[in-house]
């Protein structure tokens, strides 16, 4: 059986704006019929209630079950950032760290946003322990996924202003120890796919762990006219995990990249 996920991030919704590729995303979701839509934050631009509610409306309009985690733009840019930073998010989307389970898939959402960090993110040890507990007892054939906003392996293009997740080495080791096979994120508005063995030498063979960053779906700053907008699709069977990237070409979401990794 094949498990399929659709991944979108960084709408940067401003009130009634409609992202140009939205109709194409709706068509793609209808054609692919994913089991779950992953939404990895920055759905709003200034963390305002109306922005978050509009983004939630767009996400629900895709008519696909979804799991969403907040990004650094999804909390207020006012004093409420330090008093009730996630109140508006919870009214629009519910939980900050949702979990999805089926017989062949477990996805754990982790909130990497910290009010005192404007760009960078962090995960606490308690969050990592909770994630590990969620994966305990999961069948080895089930795909184990973690979704968060800040990437563990960020591509370098146009990322100078983006700070990564704090203590990435420790986070990666913890997730790998929990048997996670796929970590998905957004934040840097560009695609980047890496398998752990490509950048880290391990003392013993380990199960594959793929780090996938998705292109931004919105384009928040006009000066970034050349910034790609797109989505990732993940297909997993018992033997392999395939990551396919689609970007907006002005008319449609076109496939531009595809990589397949062994799950052994």
pLDDT in tens, 251-262: 999 999 999 999
Q: How many CA atoms lie within 13 A of 143 on its CB side?
A: 29
- pLDDT (0 to 100) of residue 226: 75
- pLDDT (0 to 100) of residue 96: 96
- pLDDT (0 to 100) of residue 15: 73
Strands 240-248 and 253-262 turn out to be antiparallel
- pLDDT (0 to 100) of residue 163: 64
Phi, psi angles (nearest 5°) of residue 52: -65, -40
Contact 217, 187 (CB under 8 A): no
The CATH fold assigned to 3-262 is Purple Acid Phosphatase; chain A, domain 2 (3.60.21)
- pLDDT (0 to 100) of residue 102: 96
pLDDT in tens, 65-74: 999 999 999 8
| Distance, first Cα to last Cα, the chain | 16
The pTM of the full predicted model, rounded to 2 decimals, is 0.94
* Ranges in the chain, pLDDT < 50: none
The CA distance from 92 to 24, in Å, is: 24
Tokens of 24: 């194409």
- pLDDT (0 to 100) of residue 30: 96
């Amino acid at each position: 059986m094949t498990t399929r996920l659709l991944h979108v991030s960084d709408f940067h919704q401003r009130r009634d704006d409609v992202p140009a590729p939205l109709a194409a995303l709706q068509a793609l979701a209808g054609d692919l019929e994913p089991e779950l839509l992953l939404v990895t934050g920055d759905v709003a631009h200034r963390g305002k209630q109306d922005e978050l509610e509009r983004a939630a409306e767009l996400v629900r309009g895709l008519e696909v079950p979804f799991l969403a985690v907040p990004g650094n733009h999804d909390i207020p840019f006012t004093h409420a950032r330090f008093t009730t930073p996630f109140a508006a998010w919870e009214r629009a989307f519910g939980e900050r760290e949702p979990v999805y389970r089926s017989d062949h898939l477990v996805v754990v959402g982790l909130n990497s946003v910290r009010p005192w960090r404007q760009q960078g993110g962090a995960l606490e040890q308690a969050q990592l322990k909770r994630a590990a507990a969620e994966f305990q007892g999961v069948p080895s054939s089930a795909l184990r996924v973690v979704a968060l906003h800040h990437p563990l392996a960020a591509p370098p293009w146009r990322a100078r202003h983006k700070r990564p997740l704090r203590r990435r080495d420790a986070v990666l080791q913890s997730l790998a120890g929990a048997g996670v096979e796929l970590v998905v994120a957004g934040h840097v508005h560009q695609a980047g796919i890496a398998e752990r063995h490509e950048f880290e030498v391990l003392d013993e063979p380990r199960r594959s762990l793929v780090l996938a960053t998705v292109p931004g779906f919105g384009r928040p700053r006009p000066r970034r006219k050349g910034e790609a907008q797109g989505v990732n699709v993940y297909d997993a069977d018992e033997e392999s995990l395939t990551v396919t990237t689609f970007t907006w070409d002005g008319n449609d979401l076109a496939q531009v990249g595809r990589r397949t990794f062994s799950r052994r």
